């Protein structure tokens, strides 16, 4: 399935790299697919599925775009983990930026925290 072009500013904010594999969920029709990122022009808010991926959605559809990495459980229990989340408006401008973390709090336990960051830049 084709790539997805994403505004480079949005990619930088959440730490996505060009050509990084991402998963997508179309909230309007329930379709899901995997593809890779292509950086778009900064400041445009561009989110554009390309190739066959463009057939899986319509302009204006709400998409969840996410990347994840496989981590060793023991490593997370020892060192924790952080994730960055952008919630965007209909023009793909940042409405909310969240920093989510797993913090080790004892043997075989982590604490989940999610905090809104007011000025993520």
pLDDT at 58 over 90: yes
Question: Residue 75 phi/psi, 5° resolution?
Answer: -65, -40
C-alpha triplet 19, 22, 25: angle, nearest 5°: 145
Question: Region 102-106: what's the mean pLDDT?
Answer: 94
For residue 107, what pLDDT is reported? 86
Considering the chain, what percentage of its residues have pLDDT values greater than 70? 98
73 vs 75: CA distance, rounded Å = 5
Answer yes or no: 114 catalytic: no
What 3 state SS string does 33-59 have? EEEEEEEECCCCCCEEECHHHHHHCCC
* Prediction pTM value: 0.89
List the domain boundaries for the chain: 4-66, 73-116
The CATH classification number of 4-66 equals: 2.40.40.20
Answer yes or no: 3 catalytic: yes
Question: Is 35 in contact with 3 (CB distance < 8 Å)?
Answer: yes
Which of these is catalytic: 34, 36, 101, 114?
36
C-alpha triplet 10, 47, 99: angle, nearest 5°: 30
pLDDT at 3 over 90: yes
User: What is the tens place of the pLDDT at every residue in 20-50?
Assistant: 999 999 999 999 999 999 999 999 999 999 9
What letter does residue 16 receive in the DSSP assignment? P
């Amino acid at each position: 399935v084709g790539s997805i072009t994403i505004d480079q500013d949005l990619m930088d904010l959440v730490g996505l790299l060009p050509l990084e594999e991402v998963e997508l969920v179309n909230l309007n029709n329930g379709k899901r697919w995997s593809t890779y990122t292509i950086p778009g022009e900064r400041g445009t808010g561009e989110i554009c599925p390309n190739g066959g991926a463009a057939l899986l959605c319509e302009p204006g559809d709400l998409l969840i775009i996410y990347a994840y990495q496989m981590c060793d459980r023991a490593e997370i229990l020892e060192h924790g983990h952080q994730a960055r989340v952008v919630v965007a408006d209909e023009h793909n401008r940042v409405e909310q930026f969240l920093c989510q973390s797993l913090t080790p709090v004892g043997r075989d336990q982590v604490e989940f925290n999610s905090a809104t960051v007011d000025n993520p830049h």
